[in-house]
Amino acid sequence: MKRSSQPLPTALAIIFIISYGINLYVQQQLLSALWLIGISLGYILYRSGICFSAICRDPFLFNDFSTARAVLVLLIISFAGTFMFQIYSNVNGMDIPGKFHSWGVHTAIGGILFGIGMVLAGGCAAGTLQRIGEGFILFLIVLSGLVLGSTLGAAHFSWWTTRFASFKPLFLPEIFGWAAGGILTLTILGGLFYLTFVLEKYPSLQNKEDQTWAQKN
């Protein structure tokens, strides 16, 4: 979608960002830093047009793996940075940063349900906020559902914790060692990245039939 230039709203937004940032700086410097970081990340998200629901949708509907590759690159970079912090903390006898949760069948079921919800809604949480900022009023309904679902989930979170959080978290460095755990993770992510090129180059027979039918009609 072509994004039009609107000088007046842009100027007003910049004035608001600066003035509110100064106000936060007077109250607490950390708040102003977090404000600027949030604005910067929001702008990058908007300009990139990335939507995490596209990972589950575009490869199957449009044979487009560009967003999936972008997210995999993001995961690889994030993992590398986090892994270095964890190694540093482990070597220096500090608590290893990060949250480690239990995993099992419930993890797969939750991921599938979440993916279906994103595809049906037409956007993930980040994509929904981006679309609302662009003026798509319909996504206010999606945001309402997101807030409602999160609230209900938080209300009975203890029920899920009692039944599933007792499973031991999976932490690869504890199982294979730090070096092997890091290499294994990067290998999996790298393999998925390579797989996107293979699937994009050789689409399924069903996709080819659909394309042929579309061309004839």
What values do phi and psi take at 169, rounded to 5?
A: -65, 150
Both 42 and 61 in a single domain? no
| Same-domain check for residues 101 and 20 | no
Q: Do 74 and 125 share a domain, yes or no?
A: yes
Max CA distance (Å), the chain: 67
Question: Are residues 103 and 90 part of one domain?
Answer: yes
Whether residue 125 sits in one domain with residue 32: no
The per-residue pLDDT for 182 is 93
Q: Are residues 93 and 15 in the same domain?
A: no
CA distances from 200 to 1, 75, 152 (A): 23, 20, 39
Residue 210 lies in a domain: no
Per the structure, the count of domains in the chain is 2
The reply to whether 62 and 137 lie within a common domain is yes
Contact of 95 with 89, CB cutoff 8 Å: yes
- R_g (Cα) of the chain, nearest Å: 22
Contact of 59 with 204, CB cutoff 8 Å: no
The pLDDT score that the predictor gives to residue 87 is 92
Q: Does the residue 215 lie in any domain?
A: no
Q: Are residues 119 and 185 in the same domain?
A: yes
Q: Is residue 97 part of a domain?
A: yes
Same domain, yes or no, for 23 and 122? Answer: no
Same domain as 157, residue 102:
yes
**The Cα angle at residue 142 between residues 133 and 43, in degrees rounded to 5:** 25
**Containing structural domain, residue 126:** 52-204
Q: Residue 100: how many CB atoms within 10 A of its CB?
A: 11
Which among 77, 159, 158, 60 is positioned nearest to 118, based on CA atoms? 60
Question: What is the predicted pLDDT for the residue at 58?
Answer: 83
- At residue 205, the pLDDT reads 44
Q: Has residue 31 been placed in a domain?
A: yes
Could you list the pLDDT tens digit for every one of the 217 residues in the chain? 555 567 888 889 899 999 999 999 998 889 999 999 999 988 888 887 777 777 777 888 888 898 889 889 989 999 999 999 999 988 888 888 877 777 778 788 888 888 888 888 888 888 888 888 788 888 999 999 889 988 998 898 888 877 776 677 778 888 899 999 999 999 999 999 999 999 888 776 445 544 554 444 4
Both 27 and 80 in one domain: the answer is: no
Q: Are residues 23 and 129 in the same domain?
A: no
